[in-house]
Amino acid sequence: MNPYTITPPKPPAITATVDIAPKSLNLKGKGRWITAHIKLPEGYNVSDIDVSTIMLNDTIPAEPRPVAIGDYDNDSVPDLMVKFDRSAVISCILDNVNTTKLYLERFMTIT
């Protein structure tokens, strides 16, 4: 017999709705967090989300705490609130924009 490897099927992707706050980010601001509210489609439960798997822009992990389940937008559908480190988000933005143009135009807010 030859050895073989069984690869389990990859679970299907689920389309989620994500609201990020603040909508605009002042790069000189002193806040600590960027907040995301994640809502899943009917038939899925946000309490089943493993927070350690949540990544912003595939690079910035969600903080393990604070985390909360609530109804952020008051539509009777639960959502999961997670936070991202603001300084990591700003670093990611600055790594991916033309910083010379940003500073020349004195543009310090990113939407």
33-39 and 79-85 strand pairing: antiparallel
CA-CA distance, 52 to 86, in Å (whole number)? 17
Give me the residue spans of the domains in the chain.
17-110
3-state secondary structure of 4: coil
- What local confidence, expressed as pLDDT, does residue 1 receive? 63
Q: Can you tell me which residue has the tokens 């806040």?
A: 31
pTM for this prediction: 0.76
CA-CA distance, 9 to 104, in Å (whole number)? 50
Give the sign of the dihedral formed by CA 57, CA 40, CA 17, CA 14.
positive
Alpha helices in the chain (DSSP H): 86-95, 99-104
Q: What is the pLDDT of residues 50-99, one digit of tens each?
A: 999 999 988 999 999 999 999 999 999 999 999 999 999 988 888 877 77
